[in-house]
Amino acid sequence: MPAPGQRLATGEGITINGRTLGSAEESKCREPVVSAVAPDGRKMLRLEVRNSQTPIERKPEWIKTRAKMGPEYNQLQKLVKSEGLHTVCQEAGCPNIFECWEDREATFLIGGDQCTRRCDFCQIDTGKPQALDRDEPRRVGESVVTMDLNYATITGVARDDLEDGGAWLYAETVRQIHAQTAEREAGRTKVELLIPDFNAEPDQLAEVFSSRPEVLAHNVETVPRIFKRIRPGFRYERSLKVITEARAAGLVTKSNLILGMGETREEVSEALQHLHDAGCELITITQYLRPSVRHHPVERWVKPQEFVELKEEADEIGFSGVMSGPLVRSSYRAGRLYQQAMDQRRSAAAQQSGEIAAAQVV
């Protein structure tokens, strides 16, 4: 499933000087832009205007997926439709929905549809969010129960408008899912919590960590050199600090890198090392797919072989679990990655116990 903003490119058009741009055929306009209006009628940001000068890129042949609809997927699809449930999996057009739903895994977005920050790859709108919906955690928990999920990923928008940055909302959603699935026959639903950085405020992070999600994810997304341009509301070192603090709290940690936004191959290797050194255990690596002409252009299409090489490199660095591929998303096969992390933790603990016992005998 996708992180917010990572979805198949839509070719969404915009109006510039009376002309609609969007597809490769339509977007050959190169004259200076005086004014621009987005599809929702608002005035576009300068960055969006600049981005719109580059047409939506044609995807290479390897950026494709096949629909494999198994029995679990078909059952969940009917259930979601009949109950009027909403998942990021469907609404973001995730290419991995068939596989994830077959494993009874799904992703939910909390906090509304307006983010207080803007990342240049992200589909979610930036604006003034609505008032906090304190009943949302309960409803998400009910959806998880109704869908009988084995694993739920909870992600959301940044809520800098709230005094606690939305920390309670994230934490309470985890608590509700755990509480409502406590008596589940197949075992309590595991929760992966994909969070913003909360400005690395200790009290806010402590509130989130106290809910004890099975996995605490915070996505760095890109490399230091272009980080400020791609994610102006975040800071690279601050994101690494969030991961370090989560690991120190005993949580399984996870992050994501999106390729194709201007980074070099060497910078990807450096970022992987930074993440591992910060305490990140699980990593997903994916290809950037531009949501619309308003978003950052695709700088390069990473070939499948490079994703294979990056997985091998991440394994060698020491990550407990790695998913790397053009259509991988940050919550793709999330339950399996979590299990890999737990297996490695148990193996390390057993080895340490054996070494201690051997030392005592000597």
Residue 115 among known ligand-binding residues: yes
Using one digit for the tens of pLDDT, what is the confidence trace for 258-276?
999 999 999 999 999 999 9
Using one digit for the tens of pLDDT, what is the confidence trace for 322-359?
999 999 999 999 999 999 999 999 998 888 877 777 77
Residue partners of 124: CB distance under 8 A and separation at least 6: 4, 5, 113, 114, 115, 157
Is the pLDDT at 252 greater than 60? The verdict is yes
User: CA-CA-CA-CA torsion for 273, 276, 279, 280, nearest 10 degrees?
Assistant: 130
Is the pLDDT at 126 greater than 90? The verdict is no
> Which pTM value belongs to this model?
0.84
Residue 100 among known ligand-binding residues: yes
The 10 Å Cβ neighbour count of residue 115 is 23
User: CA-CA-CA-CA torsion for 95, 99, 100, 104, nearest 10 degrees?
Assistant: 150
Q: What residues form DSSP beta bridges with 282?
A: 254, 321
> In the numeric block, which tokens belong to residue 258?
């999106």
Predicted pLDDT at 42: 64
**DSSP result, 210-234:** HT--SEEE---BS-HHHHHHH-TTS
> Cα separation of 189 and 176, whole Å?
11
Residue partners of 61: CB distance under 8 A and separation at least 6: none
Residue 94 among known ligand-binding residues: yes
Residue 29 among known ligand-binding residues: no
Residue partners of 78: CB distance under 8 A and separation at least 6: none
Predicted pLDDT at 205: 99
> Cα separation of 171 and 190, whole Å?
14
Predicted pLDDT at 354: 78
Q: What residues form DSSP beta bridges with 323?
A: 284
Residue pointed to by tokens 């978003």: 295
Using one digit for the tens of pLDDT, what is the confidence trace for 139-180?
999 999 999 999 999 999 999 999 999 999 999 999 999 999
Give the pairing of strands 151-156 and 190-194.
parallel
Residue partners of 64: CB distance under 8 A and separation at least 6: none
User: Which string of b and e fits 167-204 if b means at least 16 CB within 10 Å?
Assistant: bbbbbbbbbbbbebbeeeeeeebbbbbbbbbbebeeeb
Is the pLDDT at 295 greater than 60? The verdict is yes
SS3 30: coil
SS3 125: strand
Residue 122 among known ligand-binding residues: yes
Note the CATH architecture for domain 14-350. Answer: Alpha-Beta Barrel (3.20)
> In the numeric block, which tokens belong to residue 84?
């009027």
Which residue in 166, 234, 168 sits closest to 197, CA to CA? 234
Spell out where 54-144 has E strands: 105-110, 114-115, 125-126
Predicted pLDDT at 57: 84
Residue partners of 52: CB distance under 8 A and separation at least 6: 14, 16, 21, 27, 33, 36, 44, 293, 294
Predicted pLDDT at 34: 36
| Number of alpha helices (DSSP H) and beta strands (DSSP E) in the chain | 12, 12
* φ, ψ dihedrals at 31, nearest 5°: -70, 155
Burial (0-12, 13-18, 19+ Cβ within 10 Å), 288: buried
Give the chain's mean pLDDT: 87
Using one digit for the tens of pLDDT, what is the confidence trace for 8-58?
444 444 444 444 444 444 434 333 343 466 666 667 677 777 777 787 888
Mean pLDDT of 210-225: 98
Burial (0-12, 13-18, 19+ Cβ within 10 Å), 132: middle
Using one digit for the tens of pLDDT, what is the confidence trace for 99-125?
899 999 999 999 998 899 999 888 888
Predicted pLDDT at 80: 83
Which residue in 123, 211, 220, 115 sits closest to 170, CA to CA? 211
Residue partners of 334: CB distance under 8 A and separation at least 6: 1, 100, 105, 151, 153, 192, 215
Is the pLDDT at 227 greater than 80? The verdict is yes
Residue 89 among known ligand-binding residues: yes
